[in-house]
Structure 1
Amino acid sequence: MNRLPVLVSPYGAYAGLALHVHDLTIRGHHAETLTAADEAEAILMTLGDRRTHRISRLGRMYALNAMGRLDEALQIGEELIADQDELGGPRATDAKILADVARVLIHLGRIDDGLHHVARAMTLLDVAPNKGPRYFSAMSSLGEAARSADLFELADDAMRRSLDSFDSPDVLYKSGAELTHAELWLEWALRLEQVGRTEEAAGLVNRCVPLLEFWINEGIDSPLGVALLAVCQAKTGRIDEANAVVADLLPKMRAAGQHHESRLLHLAHGLALRATGQWKAAHREFRAGLELAALKAERLLFQYELAVTAALEVPGEATQAMLEALRTHVEALWQLRLDRRTMLRQAYRRVELEAARTSADLAAASDALTGLGNRRMFDRRINTVVDGGTLLLIDVDHFKDINDRYSHGVGDRVLGEIAAVLRSHCRQDEVAIRFGGDEFALFLATGEAEARTVAERIRRVIQARDWNTIMPGLRVTLSMGLAACRPGEAGRELYDRADAHLYVAKRSGRDQLAAAAAA
């Protein structure tokens, strides 16, 4: 029976399963996200699609973070970072994971670690292509991480870059990013209001309203967007509209366990009640929001509103002193933003220096002609091969004759072509080496049987290539010696056995692979 092909996706072969998880968390349906993630991850593990499984786990981490289950979210984040080296992937995807984990670390109070992750994400995004869904998503995550550290200016810039890079017709993802941007503006406004910068705060709230109304009128299913608009309505005197939203949505959100949206709705209702002089009712709503607050910044917001309400309800020295003390604390925290900006600049510089050192080390261990590893890298790797790994040594047959007959320029092109073939056959943990001249080596992270298959494939690719395109009459073949590492074997012994097999291949007529006799 003919089968339809699986569409190629940057996320994995069965991307739809993971994207459904992300769709739910973008809409704010976090409890449903966890259920969908359970189902998707079980299927993906059975199918062996680890890349898509990683994307589903990322969606799970978002939901856990939003629900305040930070330790569980961090555990997933650390697993995802550990998987980066094994699975590989584009820079933007790696940057996204780093930024998402940074946000969790910052929420847990591990500011230094979080800002270091933010700096690493920034350096990766500096050199990543700045268009397409990966960059869009990574910049959104960077904005969220910066916002969690109260670095509102950086967060705003990241969200703008994210939206500028958006080139997809997918309305859900664009609306999700713009609603997140609106939430950033609103949180920024609330913090500015606390430190007395009321005009700036009002400007940000006024920026939020048309954006939120547009997407809600478009019919986007987003309880978060509706809750954010309710807060804006309460802040701008549209009391009846705010109360109508709260009456309709709050019972549903509480019943569904949607604490984030419920907290915003309690805030909107409290602000609306306080604006009409209903102090006790407002106090009750702020207290309900405080009980749902999972993060320090969220708790401080409701504590501040409670203090303002108390000062209005019972004017006097005691309540005013309490409010002033809280304002002093808020202003001190606001000043900490400057320290965090300095910390981030320092972390960014450290990451740049680490990258420069790594680049210099790589250049010192690289062959200038082919870009493969050089003898220095070979010496470093030979003693790290363990049982289960294999060494393949390769010589170009009659390479001196190629140089003498066709020129060293042609010889260099031949070496470059061979290097490209070797590199294309290397998996994540495998390394191709050029000793110099016409000698190559390949460290394969596999047993002898599979290594034989890889070696024969390389030999046949080189043999079958149309070398006439470089120079008429040119013919290139390879001789190879293979040895699989034995338990406890030293690197020098492994090399000697592979070299002995290479010598056998040459004596037996060249253009062939020699290895230990098959068991």
Structure 2
Amino acid sequence: MNSLPVLVSPYGPYAGLALHVHDLTIRGHHTETLVAADEAEAITLMLGDHRTHRVCRLGRMYALSALGRLDEALRIAEDLIADQDMLGGPKATDAKIMADTAEILIHLGRIDDGLHYVARAMALLDVAPRKGLRYFSAMSSLGKAARGAELFELADDAMRRCVEAFESPDDLYRSAAEFTHTELWLEWALRLEQVGRTEEATSLLDKSVAVLRFWTDQGVDTPLGAAVLAVCHAKAGRTAETFAVVGELLPRMRAAGQHHEARLLHLAYGLALRAVGEWRAARREFQAALQLSVLRSQRLHYQYELAVTATLEFPGDATRTVLESLRGHVEALWQLRLDRRTMLRQAYRRVELEAARSSADLAATSDALTGLGNRRMFDRRINAAAAGGSLLLIDVDHFKDINDRFSHGVGDRVLGEIAAVLRSHCRHDEVAIRFGGDEFAVFLSVGEDDARQIAERIRRVIEARDWSTIVPGLTVTLSMGLAACRAGEPGRELYDRADARLYTAKRAGRNQLAAA
């Protein structure tokens, strides 16, 4: 797990529980994270704080992924995607969930599925605001997913956008993104070196060193940055500097259970030991790094270094054959990158086409004035109404008088204001509709008691609004009829019952709700 912050959505009222879970994850204490998540999830469920509960599960997902328990992590990721309370919010938040899921799928070897989610995340981020924590966090997840598929160019672009998401050069998040960017360059350089592109590898390592030294000079340092710098030193033959960093940091990282940084330090130590001819000790360090690896892409780096060391320690046909075989495997994986880039372009095109179809469908079912659903949408929903939900019908009281007295332009503004209130009271699976003139409908996913509270809240908000800001003397109230859907009831009957109650409210003096 890297050191980037992973907070992606507003917490509920018991935010401290989620913050504790995520703090442990960020620090690399993944086993402790799972214990904290057990407690936090139980408490938030008991208290009914579903938003914080979801965010705690997100922290659990990160910890499971870092521990290599990918099947369990994927189950949580799929739950989060299916949870429409979380999706349908800020585009960057949705994109982050998509990218996190993509990363897990890619590490599980489900490349096609993973690249599809990468494409969905990219499409969302194309239209998301490009500043702030949400965008930063989503881009960091996209970078990790791309890196998992060895799409290093895409990962590089994502990390650059992470850095640009914060304008202040001394921002905490910006420095965290820079440190993670250097780790990406390091991993990219290791793979380039394995396929014989040493000049490109050296260039990336030099870039990493320059960035890490800049932040060190600014007084900002992290174990991740120090570990990456140690590997860069070792690759450049600066063994004394490597030994100094490893000697100070490795025991501390092992003791703290920060395996991500410890793995890189073992790599640096092994490279430095091999450079001075300590082949047996070098093998020990590469083996230690291998034991701390949870992903196949990580293990391949250390297996390669072990093979190189073996050819130096035991020169001969056998060790050379093993190394050449491993190089052939790396070359084949490198060529697969081209296929994956093609697959990603195709997946992105499919996502674009799906979005275009959805946009066309939305236009066909939307009211031009208010942006709510139109009569076509109403017909769809009324025919799909199911037990457990409710239908709320609304008329604007004396709307003709408003048009006659103040103008149709004022009447249109009133309808727009009412539409905004209705929209704000709809949850993810609920829909507000204007199906004619001053007539509105709201399909609610709750039973009659909860629906009654929502309707009364809407009515009071409209009544209390200062309508004189639109035009002096203007007042607006609503009449409402509410009916809960019965099991097996045809949509027409549900509508008739709600409509009858709407007229009951009007006959009783308007500005009120009529329900059972």
Tell me whether the two structures share a fold, i.e. TM-score over 0.5. yes
Matched, 1:408 2:397: no
Note the alpha carbon deviations across 1:66-97, whole angstroms, 9 max, x for none.
22222222222222222244564311111112
The verdict on how the C-alpha distance between 1:313 and 1:469 changes in structure 2, with shifts beyond 3 A counting, is closer
Query: 1:27 touches 1:222 (CA, 8 Å); kept in 2?
Result: no
Shift of 1:255: 4.6
Q: Distance in 2 between matches of 1:340 and 1:55?
A: 31
Query: 2:162 touches 2:174 (CA, 8 Å); kept in 1?
Result: no
Amino acid in structure 2 at the alignment position of 1:166: F
Partner of 1:316: 316
Matched, 1:277 2:277: yes
Q: Distance in 2 between matches of 1:21 and 1:512?
A: 46
Identity %: 78
Q: Distance in 2 between matches of 1:83 and 1:317?
A: 57
Partner of 1:336: 336
The verdict on how the C-alpha distance between 1:476 and 1:303 changes in structure 2, with shifts beyond 3 A counting, is closer
Give SS of 1:409's match.
Answer: helix
Partner of 2:31: 31
Q: Which moved more, 1:281-290 or 1:128-137?
A: 281-290
Matches within 5 A, 1:50-89: 50-85=50-85, 88-89=88-89
Q: Distance in 1 between matches of 2:299 and 2:447?
A: 56
Q: Which moved more, 1:376-385 or 1:289-298?
A: 289-298
Query: 2:395 touches 2:439 (CA, 8 Å); kept in 1?
Result: yes
Q: Distance in 2 between matches of 1:177 and 1:38?
A: 29
Matches within 5 A, 1:280-299: 280-299=280-299
The verdict on how the C-alpha distance between 1:209 and 1:246 changes in structure 2, with shifts beyond 3 A counting, is same
The verdict on how the C-alpha distance between 1:467 and 1:214 changes in structure 2, with shifts beyond 3 A counting, is closer
Amino acid in structure 2 at the alignment position of 1:424: S
Partner of 2:10: 10
The verdict on how the C-alpha distance between 1:251 and 1:411 changes in structure 2, with shifts beyond 3 A counting, is closer
Give SS of 2:277's match.
Answer: coil
Matches within 5 A, 1:51-450: 51-85=51-85, 88-167=88-167, 172-213=172-213, 215=215, 222-450=222-450
Shift of 1:43: 4.1
The verdict on how the C-alpha distance between 1:325 and 1:383 changes in structure 2, with shifts beyond 3 A counting, is same
RMSD: 2.6
Partner of 1:514: 514
Note the alpha carbon deviations across 1:368-390, whole angstroms, 9 max, x for none.
11111111111111133323321
Note the alpha carbon deviations across 1:218-267, whole angstroms, 9 max, x for none.
67674333322221221111212322333444344445544333322222
Q: Distance in 1 between matches of 2:66 and 2:456?
A: 52
Can you give the 5+ residue segments of structure 1 that lack an aligned partner in the other structure? Answer: 1-8
Shift of 1:470: 3.7
Shift of 1:161: 0.6
Shift of 1:396: 2.4
Partner of 1:3: none
Q: Distance in 1 between matches of 2:359 and 2:435?
A: 20
Q: Distance in 2 between matches of 1:221 and 1:340?
A: 35
Query: 1:433 touches 1:440 (CA, 8 Å); kept in 2?
Result: yes
Shift of 1:431: 1.3
Q: Distance in 1 between matches of 2:75 and 2:424?
A: 34
Amino acid in structure 2 at the alignment position of 1:419: A
Q: Which moved more, 1:431-440 or 1:287-296?
A: 287-296
Shift of 1:430: 1.8
Give SS of 1:427's match.
Answer: coil
Q: Distance in 2 between matches of 1:465 and 1:249?
A: 62
The verdict on how the C-alpha distance between 1:84 and 1:222 changes in structure 2, with shifts beyond 3 A counting, is farther
Q: Which moved more, 1:204-213 or 1:400-409?
A: 400-409
Query: 2:29 touches 2:257 (CA, 8 Å); kept in 1?
Result: no
Partner of 2:3: none
The verdict on how the C-alpha distance between 1:320 and 1:449 changes in structure 2, with shifts beyond 3 A counting, is closer
The verdict on how the C-alpha distance between 1:450 and 1:39 changes in structure 2, with shifts beyond 3 A counting, is closer
The verdict on how the C-alpha distance between 1:166 and 1:21 changes in structure 2, with shifts beyond 3 A counting, is farther
Give SS of 1:349's match.
Answer: helix
Q: Which moved more, 1:12-21 or 1:351-360?
A: 12-21
Query: 2:481 touches 2:499 (CA, 8 Å); kept in 1?
Result: yes
Shift of 1:105: 0.9
Note the alpha carbon deviations across 1:82-135, whole angstroms, 9 max, x for none.
224456431111111211121111111111111111111111111111111111
The verdict on how the C-alpha distance between 1:186 and 1:509 changes in structure 2, with shifts beyond 3 A counting, is same
The verdict on how the C-alpha distance between 1:162 and 1:320 changes in structure 2, with shifts beyond 3 A counting, is same
Note the alpha carbon deviations across 1:118-162, whole angstroms, 9 max, x for none.
111111111111111111111111111111110111111111111
Query: 1:253 touches 1:261 (CA, 8 Å); kept in 2?
Result: yes
Q: Distance in 1 between matches of 2:60 and 2:168?
A: 24
Query: 2:132 touches 2:165 (CA, 8 Å); kept in 1?
Result: yes
Shift of 1:174: 3.6
Give SS of 1:196's match.
Answer: coil
The verdict on how the C-alpha distance between 1:418 and 1:288 changes in structure 2, with shifts beyond 3 A counting, is closer
Amino acid in structure 1 at the alignment position of 2:65: N
Give SS of 2:481's match.
Answer: strand
Q: Which moved more, 1:29-38 or 1:154-163?
A: 29-38
Give SS of 1:308's match.
Answer: helix
Query: 1:393 touches 1:439 (CA, 8 Å); kept in 2?
Result: yes
Can you give the 5+ residue segments of structure 2 that lack an aligned partner in the other structure? Answer: 1-8
Shift of 1:46: 4.2
How many residue pairs align between the two structures?
508
